């Protein structure tokens, strides 16, 4: 395996470790960055839509295993987000840090939208509050963490970035 490939997988593994070690310590989990989703979205930068959808399905199953009350909603949401983010990065030529931050924000919000609707946990004003307040806050923190990771590990991830 190439050295760059090992570094790439090392960064993704670091994000998984952060998800299970420090996310709960960053305050309210509804606004803390989702490092598992961030790992998926970084994976989609270098992958085709089909492989990204499969990776999204696996990540979704892992997230569903942690919250069995709505089993299947996370798998569906992560699969859709994995596919669409990989396709969107191909369309938008995501070599700009600001574009990547926007795609991470949109991917996080879309995932939360699909999970909220598919799980049936929220209805009426509670759904609106979730989608208009909590989801954008989580998307913002996840995008900020994503921009930080992409900046710090630019060479390791073998991603060409233009400054905005």
State pLDDT tens for residues 11-46: 999 999 999 899 888 888 888 999 999 999 999 988
- The mean pLDDT of 56-77, rounded to a whole number, is 88
Q: Could you tell me the pTM of the whole model?
A: 0.89
Residue 68, pLDDT above cutoff 90? no
- In sequence order, which residues have a C-beta less than 8 Å from that of residue 124 and are 6 or more positions away? none
Q: How many CB atoms lie within 10 A of CB 20?
A: 11
Query: According to the model, what pLDDT value does residue 160 have?
Result: 55
- The mean pLDDT of 132-152, rounded to a whole number, is 94
Mark 130-160 as b/e (b = at least 16 C-beta within 10 Å). Answer: bbeeebeebbbbbbebbbebbeebeebbebe
Q: 2: buried, middle or exposed (CB in 10 Å: 19+, 13-18, 0-12)?
A: exposed
- For the chain, which residues make up each domain, given as ranges? 3-18+35-157
- In sequence order, which residues have a C-beta less than 8 Å from that of residue 34 and are 6 or more positions away? 19, 23, 108, 138, 142
């Amino acid at each position: 395996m190439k050295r760059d490939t090992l570094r790439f997988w090392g960064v993704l593994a670091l994000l998984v470790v952060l998800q299970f070690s420090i996310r709960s310590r960053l305050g309210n989990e509804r606004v803390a960055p989702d490092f598992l989703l961030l790992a998926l979205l970084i994976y989609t930068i270098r992958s085709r839509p089909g492989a990204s959808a499969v990776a999204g399905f696996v990540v979704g199953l892992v997230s569903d295993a942690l919250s069995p009350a709505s089993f299947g909603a996370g798998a569906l949401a992560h699969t859709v987000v994995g596919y669409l983010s990989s396709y969107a990065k191909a369309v938008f030529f995501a070599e700009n840090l600001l574009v990547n931050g926007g795609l991470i924000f949109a991917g996080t919000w879309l995932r939360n939208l699909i999970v909220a609707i598919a799980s049936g946990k929220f209805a009426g004003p509670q759904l609106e509050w979730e989608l208009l307040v909590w989801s954008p806050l989580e998307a913002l923190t996840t995008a900020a963490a994503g921009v930080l990771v992409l900046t710090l590990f630019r060479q390791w991830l073998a991603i060409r970035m233009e400054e905005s």
